[in-house]
Amino acid sequence: MKQKLKIYSDSKKVHLTQTVQKGGCAAKIPAATLREVLHSLNIVNVDPNILVKNSSFDDAAVYKINDELASIQTIDFFTPIVDTPYIYGRIAAVNALSDVYAMGGLPKTALAVLAFPLKTLDMSIMLDILKGAQDALAEAKSSLVGGHSIDDDTTKFGLAVTGHVHPKQMWTNSNALEGDHLILTKAIGTGTLTAGLKRGLCEDDIMDGLLSMCQLNNILDYLPKDLALHINAATDVTGFGLLGHSMQMAQASGVSFNLKAADVPILPGAKSSLEQGFLTRAHKTNREYVKPFAQIDETLMPWNEQLLVDPQTSGGLLLSVKPKYSKAMLDVLSTNFTQAQVVGHVTKKDAKDLYVTC
């Protein structure tokens, strides 16, 4: 029997996905466009206490406070990806918190970012969105300490999160080492499943996807400290898809990633959804983003290639782990992240950043 998710009041009757053109992390500005704009901006970080800058396209910024403590800062928000307000609020919160977990830190406080159409939606929907976020924050042992809201034509919600990490124990996306094994903690396919939801599937049909998006990436709550020390690099897999985030991690680390498509865990229903053509604009832009930097096996089925660029919302962590410890780490993680899997390995820098085999 599938796990049930909380639903509050009568707001479940409102189909939030029908109020927006695109939802979740699929609504991100294409990565190539974003890179071009940021390059033109020529951001200069002169403070030596900034430990992680924007140049590596990492998941969050890290600022050193002292030799024992650094602050992690991140923000994430998006339009509705599901129809139920409470679930939408929880997913948005879990997604924002994930950036802190991807840096090896623990979230401490959060500020809400909310745009809401007061003329067209009842305030009970706003309350349910915030309840969903509040419950996720409570599970993460983090506190909602304020926020900002505006009256807008389209609903948007997310969090600005601050976390803590020891400066010498933080993870970045720029330290994957040759020989490392690559572990993915969650199955992928949320982009196509939620595209199907917008086209008429009900939330019960994508329950596994909803549960996955609602699950915190709090792997440090389960990993012994001596085992966690063998994670060399990490990132969370979101709107740019598994290939997009893998490529960014490989480039930042100066190595090549070798992924095996058959080992990538897939959410139930995602293959069928892709074959039916339930796609987002991000499927196309993500594929264009990685194309110059990736060599993909030509025999890979079209749906499988689409899966690898599927824009994830609140996806899993991609961990670059010392090979000697990957099995032990996977054994521990799999008790709570049941579809966690080794999906590839790291090699010396080659002609391409990514190599994908069947």
Residue 342 pairs in a beta bridge with 183
Exposed, middle or buried by CB within 10 Å (0-12, 13-18, 19+), for 243? buried
Look up tokens 């050193």; give the residue.
Answer: 64
What are 216's two structure tokens?
């915190």
Amino acid at 119: K
Residue 143 pairs in a beta bridge with 109
Instruction: Annotate 171-181 with b (16+ C-beta within 10 A) or e (fewer).
Output: bbbbbbeeebb
Q: Give counts: helices (H), strands (E), the chain.
A: 11, 13
Query: Mapped to the 3 state alphabet, what secondary structure does 250-270 carry?
Result: HHHHCEEEEEEHHHCCECCCH
Q: Compute the distance between CA of residue 322 and CA of residue 314 in angstroms, rounded to an integer.
A: 25
The alpha-helical segments, DSSP class H, found in the chain are 31-41, 85-102, 123-139, 190-198, 207-214, 225-228, 241-253, 270-275, 281-290, 302-308, 326-333
Q: Compute the distance between CA of residue 15 and CA of residue 42 in angstroms, rounded to an integer.
A: 41
Q: Compute the distance between CA of residue 177 and CA of residue 341 in angstroms, rounded to an integer.
A: 19
Known catalytic residue at 214: no
Specify the 3-state DSSP secondary structure of 119. Answer: coil
φ, ψ of residue 115 to 5 degrees: the values are: -115, 130
Whats the size of the chain, residue-wise?
Answer: 358
Residue 355 pairs in a beta bridge with 258, 295
What is the distance between the terminal CA atoms of the chain, rounded to a whole angstrom? 33
- Residues with a catalytic annotation lie at 25
